[in-house]
Amino acid sequence: MFFQLADNDLSFPNPALAEDDGLLAIGGDLSLERLMLAYSNGIFPWFSEGEAILWYSPHERCVIYPDKIKISKSMRKVIKDEVFKVTVNKVFTDVIKNCASTPRNGQNGTWITNEMQEAYINLHENGFAHSIEVWLGDKLAGGLYGVIINRVFCGESMFSHVSNASKAALIYLSKTGIDLIDCQLPNDHLMSLGAQMISREIYINALNNKNV
């Protein structure tokens, strides 16, 4: 079963009670306080335009350990040749808007609604959400954004307008001193880069800096 959140109560039910697909709760808001409480407990919002806010906590989590990221020979050359320039938190708003508007195979529209964009821009302005930008010359070629909890980067989305740009962002992120990159849900692209599945218990321990 999943739970209805009260508007006047920020608390979440135990994430272990989530449905098989990870759905834990419905309702609430995207306030800074509620979002930070959610992320600190391994919960994230994921819903489409016109839907109520849905909160998920998967029983298994797709993650990348920075020291286990797979970098192909061709990608190592891209990095060595300094094809891209990489910056951090320079144009967060542009990154999230590009993540929302960039077409994706097999996906109509975006879950990064205007409401979601405003909420994460607010998180960024308060120092909790961060972006990595990849530039080809003076053009924004790719990037990613997410929320940092202790030493875990909770990735939200990435985009690429140029081949290898989002990979460059992910590889740069892996070298910033974080312990874990949370990818939330698996896909073939992430798995090819070295992502693996871990239990919720291991993930929550990582959020709390325990036995990463």
Helix (H, G, I), strand (E, B) or coil at 54: strand
**What pTM was estimated for this model as a whole?**
0.92
Across 73-84, average pLDDT: 96
Q: What are the angstrom distances between the C-alpha of 179 and each of 63, 90, 176, 198?
A: 11, 23, 9, 14
CA dihedral 128, 173, 202, 146 (to 10 degrees): 30
CB contact at 8 A, 30 and 115:
yes
pLDDT at 108: 54
pLDDT at 105: 61
Taking 60 as the threshold, does the pLDDT of residue 107 lie above it?
no
Angle between helices 114-125 and 32-40 (to 10 degrees): 80
Thinking of the domain 62-207, which architecture would CATH place it in? 3-Layer(aba) Sandwich (3.40)
Residues of the chain with CATH 3.30.70.3550: 3-59
Q: Which residue has the tokens 């990435």?
A: 158
Residues of the chain with CATH 3.40.630.70: 62-207
Task: Give the helix, strand, coil percentages of the chain, each rounded to 5.
Answer: 30, 30, 40
Per-residue pLDDT band for 102 (boundaries 50, 70, 90) equals: confident
87 strand-pairing partners: 133
CB contact at 8 A, 171 and 69:
yes
Dump pLDDT digits (tens) for 139-173: 999 999 999 999 999 999 999 999 999 999 999 99
H or E element: which one contains 172?
helix 165-174
What fold does the segment set 3-59 form as a domain? Alpha-Beta Plaits (3.30.70)
Q: How far is it, in rounded angstroms, from Cα 22 to Cα 89?
A: 30
pLDDT at 50: 84
